[in-house]
Amino acid sequence: MRVGLLGGTFDPVHLGHLIAARIAQEAVGLDEVLFVPAGQPRLKTRPPVASGAQRLEMVRLAVGPHDGFSVSDVEIRRAGPSYTVDTLEALAPGRILFLLVGTDALNQLGAWHRPERVLELCDPVAIVRPGAAGLDLDALEEAAVGASEAVRQVGGPLLDVSSTEVRRRTGDGLSIADLVPEPVEQYIRDHGLYLEGGSATMAGSTAAGILELATEIGALRFGEFTLTSGGTSSYYFDGRLVTLDPEGSYRVATAFYPVLVGCGAQAIAGPSVGADPIVASIATVSHLKGNPISALIVRAKAKEHGTGRLIEGRLTPGTRVAVVDDTCSTGGSLLHAIDAVEQAGSQVVKVLCILDRRQGGSDEVRRRGYDFFALLEADDEGNIAPAAP
């Protein structure tokens, strides 16, 4: 029996999941698609909003009317983190397994538990979702020999919807009728789920939430990468992918905003191009909150024509300025921006970044006497977590 496994948090399950499952079933010739709600997702930075029992019931309601779809509670019943390899081993007897997974998640195969064994137990089927990153065949091959050849890609008229969007719309009191099956919509309403997931709650964006979003949209990737500083890394954090995403831009700006208010910043400056979307989104959020913080862009070098400016934006001497970048490794870009602001006669009151790679840059910033703040930080092994307060 040819069975496709579609795992996920399903917080909540939505129509995009059902459409992707049907497209994969028809493309690969599956007798059944088995939906497997996760108990404790290992690569998620915060627990699901709905309980395991609630998410399991919503999936049952969603797949009930559909022939060839069923549900397994194997991960909900399992204590501790959910490992794909354990699920495959539990469900393999009597079945030929196909693992249905998004390209963004499959690109992180190197971070999975026992990836070689995963490939022994199933054939991976990559679902190419709207707006998601394509397959990184080199990263797959580094994670497990033969992975790049074993995977099959499936695409089609997929629905561009996310569980995050469903939670947000529910919290904002907006309709989700076109995003989830009707029985799931009714279940969410009857149980009062996701009422705290709207835009008002999002204004208190956390580092953990930003990390989760970065993982969802493929901004955090694992492999071998050469950094701007010339060093190498086992992971790559694409801060611009986060801050150019509408939700990511809002989350980052609202996470930084109270820090900027606390230090009395009147302007926010950052090195181009990594900080460009950050300073713009902070300026917008600060205006909406009634405490305007001007945006400034620091060029790599002064313009050789026109005004010859090094700093773009309105900056007057004596302005209290915070300096921001998407990541901090050796700190070169941040230090360049700091020097430019001070040479313009203004005062640097805070230095910020989304991710501190802990490669000496933040230590040098602090050594020079500046107050440094990061939302996320990495350890020596490349594990990323919310920065310690």
pLDDT digits 0-9 by tens, 95-150: 999 999 988 888 888 888 898 999 999 999 999 876 666 788 888 888 888 888 88
201 falls within a domain: no
Same domain for 225 and 172, yes or no, is no
Both tokens assigned to 252: 């980052």
Same domain for 109 and 249, yes or no, is no
Same domain for 77 and 122, yes or no, is yes
The answer to whether the CB of 52 falls within 8 A of the CB of 86 is no
| Number of structural domains found in the chain | 2
Domain C-terminal end among 164, 191, 218:
191
Supply the CATH number for residue 229's domain: 3.40.50.2020
Alpha-carbon span 41 to 344, nearest angstrom: 49
Q: DSSP letters of 16-27?
A: HHHHHHHHHHHH
Mean pLDDT, rounded, for 176-181: 93
The answer to whether the CB of 88 falls within 8 A of the CB of 5 is yes
Same domain for 221 and 155, yes or no, is no
What domain range is 240 assigned to? Answer: 207-386
Same domain for 42 and 137, yes or no, is yes
Domain C-terminal end among 162, 191, 220:
191
**Exposure of 117 by Cβ count < 10 A (0-12 exposed, 13-18 middle, 19+ buried)?**
middle
Same domain for 98 and 228, yes or no, is no
> Where is average pLDDT lowest: 9-13, 227-231, 316-320, 328-332?
227-231
- Could you read off the pLDDT of 255-298 as tens digits, one per residue? 898 889 888 899 999 999 999 999 999 999 888 878 899 999 99
Amino acid at 368: R
User: Residues with Cβ < 8 Å from 174, sequence gap 6 or more?
Assistant: none
**Exposure of 345 by Cβ count < 10 A (0-12 exposed, 13-18 middle, 19+ buried)?**
exposed
Both tokens assigned to 182: 């009707």
Residue 142 DSSP class: H
Name the strand (E) or helix (H) holding 102.
Answer: strand 96-102
Same domain for 186 and 225, yes or no, is no
How would residue 315 be classed by pLDDT, with cut points 50, 70 and 90? very high
**CA angle in degrees (0–180, nearest 5) for 193-258-319:** 155
Same domain for 219 and 334, yes or no, is yes
Model pTM score: 0.54
163 falls within a domain: yes
14 falls within a domain: yes
Both tokens assigned to 12: 């909540």
Mean pLDDT over the full length of the chain:
87
Same domain for 148 and 178, yes or no, is yes
199 falls within a domain: no
Same domain for 304 and 343, yes or no, is yes
Supply the CATH number for residue 83's domain: 3.40.50.620
